[in-house]
Structure 1
Amino acid sequence: MIFTLAFAAATALVVLLLFNSGMLANAKTRLQNAADAGAYSAGVLQARDHNFSAYTNRAMVANQVAVVQLVSLKSYLEDAADTHDRMGGAILSLEELIPTSTTAWDFGKNLPIENVNSVFAAIAPIAVQGLDLLIQAFEKAQEAHHVATALDMVLVADEVVKRNDIDAKVTTGGFTVGKTAFQVKDWSNSTKQHSANDSSSEADRFADVVVNENSTDLFTRNRFSVPVPMWASTVNLCTMLPNYVSSFTFFGFTHAGGSILSEDKKRWLSLDATMGTGFQTCTVWYPCFPSGICYATETTPLIDGNFGLGGSGGGVAGASGDYNESSGYKNNPFSTKLYGGALITPPPMVPGLIRYSITGPGSTLDSSGGLQNYYRDMTDPLGSIPKDQTPEENGGKYTITIEVEHPGAAIRTASKFLPASTIVKLDDGLKSNTMRTLSSSHAYFYRSKTDDLKSFTRNGWHRDDDKAELANLFNPYWQTRLVDRTLAERTLSWAAQ
């Protein structure tokens, strides 16, 4: 009987040990899964905030491009209306007497250019001011989203933990208010608002994206063209002569224009100029000695009206005033220099120089135009290139680690249901009667090639254009992953228990 009782007691201890071990292991697994889900959700918030900044940065760039397009259209249509008005003037109305065919000229003359220009001139200021206000709203949204993310990161992690394990929560002790709080602060400081319109290299970075030839279209940068209205044919008056031999007349317009960002980045400037030129020849015969017949050719130049000065259009979004600059911001594309060549390309350079020096760009579409004040990017976007493009090197240095706890009282071990007077029992021995665990995650930037099989290596990191892209807030390629906890974090958690 003694042997049986001893064996029964040993068997009970083994059963209790297996039961407790199973319950503790199950609780630990659930707690670790809950902690991983909470940490991952915090990392997702990091990535979402960076991607939100990237999308809003792109939206700001797109709206800035839309602003300069509107400024360009204002200048272009004003010049077109001026040209159209001159087509009906006394000097250029000679097309009714000189050529025999004016099909293209008549087509252009019948276009309602002045009406289009009048309507656009009325709505352009409203549109530009609205776009600039929208850009400012994006600036504020970036800042608000970033601050909210930093404040909500631990709260969201705690909510996710509780949804995965109803009895668990993120600890509120020294680890959370210490290590985790400092990590959130470091992550928050890893990006910042940079000025977009001062002389800093960070402002140049934003301006370079806006004026880049991949952002703006050719119409905005360089509008050199030959407008449709023209004539080219024989000459009516010449064919009426009794000794007529041959004749030819040509007249057409040449247009040039372009838009630039000013040197201080606070004005969009646009200028267009159009000049009409041509010629008329008439060849007749006359009797002469000794051949009996000679030929005479007269060539007459035809010049645009308005005292031969042509016409022009201008536009500005930003402070009112004269043009004062012909090239503007140092990194404007070469094709925009001198307003698409309007100041150096004959014949439109004549009205172009008059517009630049005397008339000016006209009334501003928005006195607060130009690049708006801020955009968000990495704190040091122009820093040194990392030696290897690992996730940690490319934006992933800012890990978020949470400590999660589960009360021992909520774990159904043997001591919870056996009476206190039971002789055979086995306590779980949890320190402070609490089970704790750690989990870490981070957001990192990765724009891989489609055939990238080398994971996070410098060779495998480069894009399809063979350039390696560093972490930035212009492209939404931020993602999240769990990472291992450091020994220092484990030690700190153990010490706090």
Structure 2
Amino acid sequence: MRTPCLRGKAALARQRGQALAFALIFLVVGALALFTAFNASQLSSAKTKLQNTADATAYSVAVLQARDYNFAAYTNRAMVANQAAVAQVLSLKSWIDEVSETAQSDHVTDTLIDIFADLGEVEWNLPKQTARPIISPLKSTIDSLAPTVVKGLDILNWSLSEAQQAYHLTTMLSYPLVAKEVAQANEPNTTADEGYMATLGAPKLLAWKNYVTRTDPKQQASGGGGSDRFADVVTDKDTLDNFVPERGKIRTPTVASTAEKGCVGAVFSFMAVGEPHSGATQLRPDLGGWEALDGTAAIGDLTCIWATPVGPVGFTFPIIESLGRGGAANGPGGSYSGRSGYNNTGHIGDAIVSAATVATFMQYETGPGSSLDNSSRAGLQPYYDLSDPNKAAPGTGTENFNRAPTITLQVKRNVDTTRTTKTMQVGVGRTQLDEAAPSSELRALSSASAYFIRPRSTGGPGGLLNAAAWRRGDNRFEYPSLFNPYWQPSLVDTSATDLEAAAVAQAAGAP
């Protein structure tokens, strides 16, 4: 009678073994789900860090780009200021030489005034006597310092030009090194993809290189290249003070009085003499240096009339004499390059046709004298500027007219460097998961570039987004150039074309 009961217990024992199998399957599936979730979380975190690293790397390269352009702008502005200083020194040298000579008392006009003019001692001689002790030490100082100052400024300009080129070349060469260093500093297991730089990223690097060009003003002028952007800035009226391009006026010593002292017994006598001065400094048409010219003439007449039994008798004697002349130059010396300077400015030509023609023309024929610096460093030096400045303005067909070429970088890390169950050696056999990343790598792209903008100081929030708020304080727009240091970096969207090309390359196992 016990047999059925025993059979029931055996069946129950067999049913317990079947539950264990289901439990094991559940544990395996649960472990796989847990491992998958853990790996997904770790890979997602790694990808986020990788993208942040890519952004930091691209931004750092854009900083390099902006610094390169700003350094060029600072050095260009320094060279412009130094060229203006050279022109001022030459102008002062020419002018002080002329003033010193004019203040002397060994001219024919001085003798005539001493003989004839009643007020000559006060109106003519006194101003000269007062000026001589003042002018003499000034002339001595200028004569001794001018060559040193001009040569020093020319050397400084040459040094700035060379430094500009060296900085630009160093920036281009250091671009991959900086990218690699920044990437590893942000994430030690990450590296900037040099293969991408050499292949898919190469056209963008070439565009960056070609965005600016180094111009040699002298070479361009000798080749008939027309105007030069640097020379235009240097000779602009807002760059040079009014003393440099034109300095002509009537000087203080003048005589306008009777001449009874010399015209003894005359019923009428008059002597009028003025000292018109003219001077100018111009940039040579070949851009090889500056040249200055100054001259002061005595212009007037002497009239004496006597009454005689046969009627009035007398004479009128015209007075035309060169009283003082001066000249100076750096670059080619010995003779003036012509009456017109760079871009047909005609400063010296205007001085020659002035009231002081007799003096200025004699100085023009004599030449500016020995050059204060006859080396190749005189004149305008090579400089960097935008390759096509005309495109750096709205409405020229360029969408991002105020932005430099975009640099796109790719950073990567081996998937095995992430903290997944595989690298932690968690799970064996069927529970071990492998990450199916193409090329066994995680990759991220990022793009950045430098842009130029000088918004109003009162533009307020969002001013950079509104082109109408880009006006300066004088209500004028300032467009991109390498003459003003307003370049700054920013990230930009990576184009769909770049993303697709990088994905295809990764899938194909390309570096």
The aligned residue for residue 401 of structure 1 is 408
Between 1:448-457 and 1:147-156, the stretch displaced more is 448-457
Between 1:310-319 and 1:101-110, the stretch displaced more is 101-110
Query: Alignment partner of 1:193: what SS?
Result: strand
1:322 to 2:343 alignment: no
The aligned residue for residue 217 of structure 1 is 241
Is the contact between residue 391 and residue 445 of structure 1 (CA under 8 Å) also seen in structure 2? Answer: no
Between 1:188-197 and 1:75-84, the stretch displaced more is 188-197
The aligned residue for residue 204 of structure 1 is 228
Measure the CA separation in 1 of the matches of 2:465 and 2:338. Answer: 47
Query: Alignment partner of 1:41: what SS?
Result: helix
The aligned residue for residue 392 of structure 1 is 400
Deviation at 1:107?
6.1
The aligned residue for residue 345 of structure 1 is 354
1:68 to 2:87 alignment: yes
Which letter maps to 1:326?
R
1:312 to 2:325 alignment: yes
| Partner of residue 486 from structure 2, selected from 473, 477, 487 | 477
The aligned residue for residue 389 of structure 2 is 381
The aligned residue for residue 91 of structure 1 is 111
Deviation at 1:194?
1.4
Query: Alignment partner of 1:443: what SS?
Result: strand
Measure the CA separation in 2 of the matches of 1:92 and 1:427. Answer: 111
Is the contact between residue 193 and residue 377 of structure 1 (CA under 8 Å) also seen in structure 2? Answer: yes
Is the contact between residue 39 and residue 482 of structure 1 (CA under 8 Å) also seen in structure 2? Answer: yes
Measure the CA separation in 1 of the matches of 2:189 and 2:454. Answer: 39
Alignment of 1:162-177 (within 5 A): 162-173=184-195, 175-177=196-198
Measure the CA separation in 2 of the matches of 1:331 and 1:152. Answer: 43
Gaps of 5+ in 1: 287-295
Which letter maps to 1:376?
Y
Query: Alignment partner of 1:475: what SS?
Result: coil
Measure the CA separation in 2 of the matches of 1:281 and 1:482. Answer: 83
The aligned residue for residue 214 of structure 2 is 193
1:20 to 2:39 alignment: yes
| Partner of residue 32 from structure 1, selected from 22, 40, 51 | 51
Deviation at 1:15?
3.0
1:254 to 2:305 alignment: no
The aligned residue for residue 493 of structure 1 is 502
Deviation at 1:472?
2.0
Pairs aligned (count): 475
TM-aligned CA distance change 1:436 to 1:301, over 3 Å: same
| Partner of residue 356 from structure 1, selected from 347, 364, 377 | 364
TM-score by length of 2: 0.80
Which letter maps to 2:169?
V
TM-aligned CA distance change 1:248 to 1:331, over 3 Å: closer
TM-aligned CA distance change 1:386 to 1:109, over 3 Å: closer
Which letter maps to 1:311?
G
Query: Alignment partner of 2:275: what SS?
Result: strand
Measure the CA separation in 1 of the matches of 2:156 and 2:474. Answer: 33
Is the contact between residue 319 and residue 367 of structure 1 (CA under 8 Å) also seen in structure 2? Answer: yes
Partner deviation per Cα, 1:117-151 (whole Å, 9 max, x = no partner) = 23322322222222222222222222222211111
| Partner of residue 447 from structure 2, selected from 433, 436, 440 | 440
Deviation at 1:321?
3.1
Query: Alignment partner of 1:376: what SS?
Result: strand
The aligned residue for residue 420 of structure 2 is 413
Is the contact between residue 231 and residue 249 of structure 1 (CA under 8 Å) also seen in structure 2? Answer: yes
Measure the CA separation in 2 of the matches of 1:202 and 1:21. Answer: 64
Partner deviation per Cα, 1:194-228 (whole Å, 9 max, x = no partner) = 12123355752221111110111111011123444
Deviation at 1:170?
0.9
Deviation at 1:372?
2.9
Is the contact between residue 320 and residue 367 of structure 1 (CA under 8 Å) also seen in structure 2? Answer: yes
TM-score by length of 1: 0.82
Which letter maps to 1:401?
T
1:138 to 2:145 alignment: no
Is the contact between residue 393 and residue 402 of structure 2 (CA under 8 Å) also seen in structure 1? Answer: no
The aligned residue for residue 293 of structure 1 is none
TM-aligned CA distance change 1:109 to 1:139, over 3 Å: closer
1:53 to 2:72 alignment: yes
Measure the CA separation in 1 of the matches of 2:40 and 2:52. Answer: 18
Deviation at 1:38?
0.6
Measure the CA separation in 2 of the matches of 1:33 and 1:95. Answer: 92
TM-aligned CA distance change 1:92 to 1:213, over 3 Å: farther
Is the contact between residue 32 and residue 437 of structure 1 (CA under 8 Å) also seen in structure 2? Answer: yes
Query: Alignment partner of 1:415: what SS?
Result: coil
TM-aligned CA distance change 1:104 to 1:478, over 3 Å: farther
Is the contact between residue 391 and residue 456 of structure 1 (CA under 8 Å) also seen in structure 2? Answer: no
1:149 to 2:171 alignment: yes
Give the superposed CA RMSD. 3.8
Measure the CA separation in 1 of the matches of 2:433 and 2:115. Answer: 112
Partner deviation per Cα, 1:340-395 (whole Å, 9 max, x = no partner) = x432222x2221122223x2221111224753342211222345855268773334
Q: Which has the larger radius of gyration?
A: 2
